[in-house]
Amino acid sequence: MQENQAQTSVHSAAAAQAAAAASSPIAVPNSVKIETLLEACIKYGASDLHIQVGLPPILRIDGSLAPIPNTPILTTEIVDTLIFSTLDSMQRETLAKDKEFDYSFAFGEIARFRVNAFNEKGHLAAAFRLIPTKMPTIEELGMPQVISGFSDYPRGLVLVTGPTGSGKSTTLAAIINKINSEKSVHILTIEDPIEFTHKSKRSLVAQREVHYDTYSFSRALKSALREDPDVVLLGEMRDLETISAAITIAETGHLVFATLHTNSAAQSVDRMIDVFPAEQQPQIRSQLAGILMAVCSQRLVPAIGGGRVCAAEIMVANTAIRSIIREGKTHQLDTAIQTGASEGMQTMDRTLAKLVQQGTVTYDSAREYAVDVREFERIVKGA
């Protein structure tokens, strides 16, 4: 409902601006500069900037969409100029060939943006995601203390999951930054594109961007073991090949961090297993039971007073959880998480209820993100 209302307001604003443009000339392309739009994104505390023909530039602020004040309806020429100003010649060729392209864009020393340029209705369009310049700490993100312990695992697989825009990259950046600050290890990241840049501190950090530093995730993963890493960050496990490679790297004594677009630990385990042929799944379950260390599934919930707060389900692999995975009984993982509070585990519903009780988010906002609404209501009421 909130999303639909936001989109309606965006199109209403666009229609109003278009009507005004009919009676008075709007700005020529050179009057709309990408620097101005990116500055507005930062100024208004937006997470995203959207550029699309037929609409004014649009920001996503605390999850809702709104046009940038006093900006014109964008024409094809304006949009092309804005997007091309952030691309080099090789990137332009890739976009023209593939019709879509992921890349990162450094806005001077002010900020970095993760960008997806794509075609829609025969025109170019783009979404710019703002990446904070200051490397966050786990504490600053308001994450549970157990997350800090993820950096201390000597080996295994750690997953950070959630839908697009849920803060997965930021959480992983905080964990990698902690390792980089405290341990003398070799950290290798494989990303599409690189979002947070990590300067080597106590650790040696090598960051590889798909399309620039390697042709693909799968090729980079095949080379990873020959690059002597201790820690590997995989931006996204997209298919059987990358999931299989991540499992192999973790099995050979390395610590692997990766993301999935799943909403819970149970979904994450099922997703990893289900990509394999049926005859291989028992073996994969056994391998995953041995290497999986933890899963953090997170969402960003609108906070009272503005901004958003992270709500997370945390699963830490113990003997019971490893047995559940090995035996293919992932439907029992939620119960195992509920009984694992003493080990730092927490369900999404209990996390949301706690945020309501603390006065951080409203009851209605939290309820929208609840996994089991009845369970959420029961916890809030203290039943």
Share of the chain above pLDDT 70, in %: 92
DSSP state at residue 359: T
pLDDT for the residue numbered 23 = 34
pLDDT for the residue numbered 179 = 98
The DSSP string of 232-284 is: EEES---SHHHHHHHHHHHHTT-EEEEEES-SSHHHHHHHHHHTS-GGGHHHH
In CATH, which of 3.40.50.12780, 3.30.1280.10, 3.30.450.90, 3.30.70.890 is domain 2-131?
Answer: 3.30.450.90
pLDDT band of residue 135 (cuts 50, 70, 90) is confident
Does the pLDDT of residue 29 top 70, yes or no? no
Instruction: Give the residue with greater pLDDT, 131 vs 12.
Output: 131
- CATH code 3.40.50.300 region(s) in the chain: 145-346
Angstrom distance (rounded) from CA 299 to CA 312? 6
Q: What is the pLDDT of residues 367-382, one digit of tens each?
A: 999 999 999 999 998 8
Is residue 187 classed as helix, strand or coil in its secondary structure? strand
pLDDT for the residue numbered 383 = 52
pLDDT for the residue numbered 15 = 42
Does the pLDDT of residue 20 top 60, yes or no? no
pTM for this entry: 0.84
- For 113-140, letters b (16+ CB in 10 Å) and e give bbbebbeeeeebbbbbbbbeeebbebee
- CATH code 3.30.450.90 region(s) in the chain: 2-131
pLDDT band of residue 149 (cuts 50, 70, 90) is very high
CA 130 to chain centre: 12
Q: What is the pLDDT of residues 326-336, one digit of tens each?
A: 999 999 999 99
- Mean pLDDT across 10-37: 53
Q: What architecture is domain 145-346?
A: 3-Layer(aba) Sandwich (3.40)
What residues pair up with 52 in beta bridges, in sequence order? 125
Does the pLDDT of residue 2 top 70, yes or no? no
**CB atoms inside a 10 Å sphere around CB 146:** 17
Quick one: which of 220, 186, 222, 224 has its CA closest to 205?
186
Angstrom distance (rounded) from CA 265 to CA 247? 16
